[in-house]
Structure 1
Amino acid sequence: MSNKIQAIRGMNDLLPKDSALWLSLEETIFNLFISYGFKNIRTPIVEKTDTFCRAIGEATDIVEKEMYSWKESNGESLSLRPEGTAGCVRMMIEHNLPREGIQKVFYQGAMFRHERPQKGRYRQFHQVGVEVFGADTAKIDAELMAMTHLLWQNLGLKNLTLEINTLGSAEARANYRSVLVDYFTQYKDQLDEDSTRRLSSNPLRILDSKNKDMQSLINAAPKLMDHLDEDSRKHFDEFKAYLQCLDIPYIINTRLVRGLDYYNRTVFEWTTTDLGAQGTICAGGRYDGLVEKMGGKSTPAVGFALGLERLVLLLEAQDITLGKSPLSIYLVALGDNAQIKSMQIANQLHHALPKAILYNDITLGSFKAQFKKAD
């Protein structure tokens, strides 16, 4: 076993040379969200394990095998957050925020999942997400699409595709689940190990399988659109009409089901072909029953999360540089009196030019050495 000190596999450092891009990206995102009336919130990185189990679903991959969990001395199970929505919902219920009217919030921070690390998929990753509590119209769903669409434009990103679907009401989804189970049970011998397991626990996820040998079977499966309730169908039609009036192109992906159990009605993903297998940049949807399921009053809700690591990879893949280079100043001084004077000048410049980057040489080297550093 090596004694070399290093980060945990799949958990990466942000180096000084990369921080400017991340800061500029976060500033662009936050300013846009604030302009749409969203307010920033912060929730703990650690929650009770039961919070995630109740929200995400016991039969999901995240809860079954991807969470970092442990037991406290009192026997209570805690977990690092694998996503942001569950903590937001817990906060809304605990502080009874929906009573104050519609809540539009955004969050940012590290999430943790025990996955096989690869490019664009890490065990510690960073998300920015938005949640809207208290609005059930398709208009707010469309506003989120307009906001993300504008974000891609502000960042200069191209080749992003909006994929949408509707999962219907909880009742319609339960009925469709039974239809799917009946269908796939007939072909159980053709299912792979993951799909066989999901047949009894989460059959909708079979539709999301990437197994090439199963695609013809999946394509022939019953369609959720044929089992929608009338209210969900109307909501989806209104959502599409808003997208059309906003000139936001989209495709309907009937196999888009998302990996979390709390979704209903609208679900969506922004995807790109520029990052290979990890092509989902932003994803979300409605979860109208989640607040009530977790102990609060019935509250419609919708939201999404976007992955910062993947956004950075996409910016690099498309050779995009964010922001203008700020004014840089390098102060050179030689001798004790000059060093004192340089501190006074640096302090004055920081007050006069707050956005400038100022380097006050601290090496006390020769003029030649200091000028070399300035270059």
Structure 2
Amino acid sequence: AVAAALAERNRDLRPTAAPPPRHRGLLATPAQGFYGILSQNVQMHDMFELVQTIADSVANVLIYGETGTGKELVARAIHDASSRHGRPFVTMDCSALARELMESELFGHEKGAFTGAHDRHIGRFERANTGTLFLDEVANIDPGIQAKLLRVLQSRTFERVGGQKSISVDVRIIAATNVPLDELVAAGKFRDDLYHRLNVVEINLPPLRERAEDIPLLALEFLKRFARQNNKDVRGLTDAAVQSLRGYRWPGNVRELENVILQAVVLAKSPLLDTADLPRRITQPVEGQTALPTKLTAQLEEPEKQILINAIRQHGGNIKRTAEMLEISRTTLYAKLKKYQIDPDAIR
């Protein structure tokens, strides 16, 4: 009965399919998503199921993803799907603050703790009590702060800067990074013990170029929102515009797509966005920007399994270099190796 209930819940949370291409293009229609995340991609759906599985646990979560892939949206989905929903969801961008300010922002400070501390300041940990604290770009945390953060994760207690009183908190930590923390650990730039405390559950977000089927769906959702906000009569995209959007590699991922659609809607002069409404880098990519013959997307006419075998053999079984050559994430590569039952060690 429990399994059946979970299956029914999963079906209810699946997004609806994107509207099919029409003669004049794609028209914006209502879309359904997983806690605000829209996707038709298999990897993303697997991630949705993982979020549901871990939501009510107390385990800390580490989210990997390139800039602009939506790491904070995933963190919010974990919070909203959990028993902590309705309680504080506090965010902190660890790349935006100097060491002194970061310590005060995380743990708070007492009045007179340092020059300019005219009042007591309540930090993010206290504000997130009984809820979730999202640490974005956690790789940028200063080594001295890493030690204090580790202590809080171990004991769930801390003192404000300049304070003596020990404060207890019940906070779930979700951290995010666009840099592999294991590589920083190996380089001595991130504490190994803190890494393992944060990385209880690991979530890998694929870049937008690996979920091309989502580009029209996301573009239409952004179009609908920005048309409403800007009082513009823009209702959809032409087929040519959709083709240009799908052909671009999106180094800035979903955030870049969002900005492109905002600009196009604001400047649009007709109900359907066309290629003329898109930036030149989208419609006329520079030479060399399209996929090279060694990349997976350019070799669809070849059996995918053989492509993978050739690439792994070329790089002596090195997964990282193979994924970089094929321009797919390591998570995607591992999934494909499992799908085709390929053992990298056997074909070096």
- TM interval, shorter chain, is under 0.3
TM normalised by structure 1 equals 0.22
Higher-strand-fraction structure: 1
Larger Rg belongs to: 1
TM normalised by structure 2 equals 0.23
